[in-house]
Structure 1
């Protein structure tokens, strides 16, 4: 059709396609993993690294790598590749490489924010309570996100040594310049010679755990208080505390007032309370208390009067004669 660019057939295409097909068949014999585009960004990285190990072992060309990798895409990742492939012209597809494919995957499944976070983790990486082997494994994994920090053997060895625990790193520093492999080997030797109790540092108490324990204690106290309030003031433990007299009692506090302690009315005291029956035990006890002090005094007065009358009668009799009688 006029106006459309006609594609010139390439005589080498059948040969290249046959070679790629044979490479793909050999590639699948290694049971390569598939990738569906879902999960953690680390899954995408693991998938790419697994493929590249097989590619390096098979010594595949760039186009053969691209063909084999596309064959392992499934689900969402396969849909992504179809959308990318539709935007490529024949000329762009001819120039498309394995590195272009990885860049597309990184842009979609391994975002820049994730790589920055991993780079910060590598920058702050320390051995702490990990063994030397565990520290080295994490060191290798995270170093991919900060290649500028380990782009020479000297920088790599120095970064590794500075992250070791003090009791392991200090002996290494005294041995001069070492390669990364030498630093790792001697660090393992030093760790193996350490006592068992020193191989893992004593961890500081978990402040968060302690705070949670204290929080549970206070919550238990609050729950007990709420339960006691719901049970009511009938139990001795629930007698309310008075802020006026600083004692536990029920009802209105009458301390410091001139009100009667029995009825609460003003104008009289409890001993004069009209609410107390006159014949009651309390009234009788009060009368007995008053009479108990007055009765001896009345008896003494009666005895004195009797003595005075007797003396007067004797004097009168002595002044009389027999005629007066």
Structure 2
């Protein structure tokens, strides 16, 4: 493991390792543990100021959007570079779950995963369920917005329609009122003429009239109200044809 890791070093890192290993000899260098190698590399290429920056990035790391893969990859990189922040498995799982979306954070915690791989699989499964439900929720929300707009439009138009109908009915009643009044006057006048003609007819058909209707001086007939007898010659009201002077 140590031989493979040091064999991948290049440029300045390779020069640094050769300068470190040559004085010690190959046998002693091969006895270096993996933990010791990481400590040497950290001290050389990761000063404390850079480690603090990476620790802040790890603490504030969270999922962006609905894609967990970039988050998991970056989390693994930072935990490797900042081992002091996740000294045990419990702290590692706590840091991983803290960066998950709130929609699945509680469910992952309730599942009580024992390893990072298990927590990652649970988070992926829950996120896939949310992504599948999202189009259905968007469709329902779109329909709800359309229904709300229709209801709002109908409610706004109802008072106007009612006012317009009332205004139209009032206008119609106003327009018809003079006509109705004129029609009533015509009907009354027609009835008066009919009554007068009936009384005149009775008076003509009964010589020696003794009824209650007075004698009209214009037409010399018995009737009530204004004289309605019309001359057939000059078409004037108030005298009979036989008494027409024209």
Report the TM range for the smaller structure's normalisation: 0.3 to 0.5
More helix by share: 2
TM-score normalised per structure 1: 0.33
What TM-score comes out, normalization by structure 2 length? 0.41
- Who wins on radius of gyration, i.e. which is larger? 2
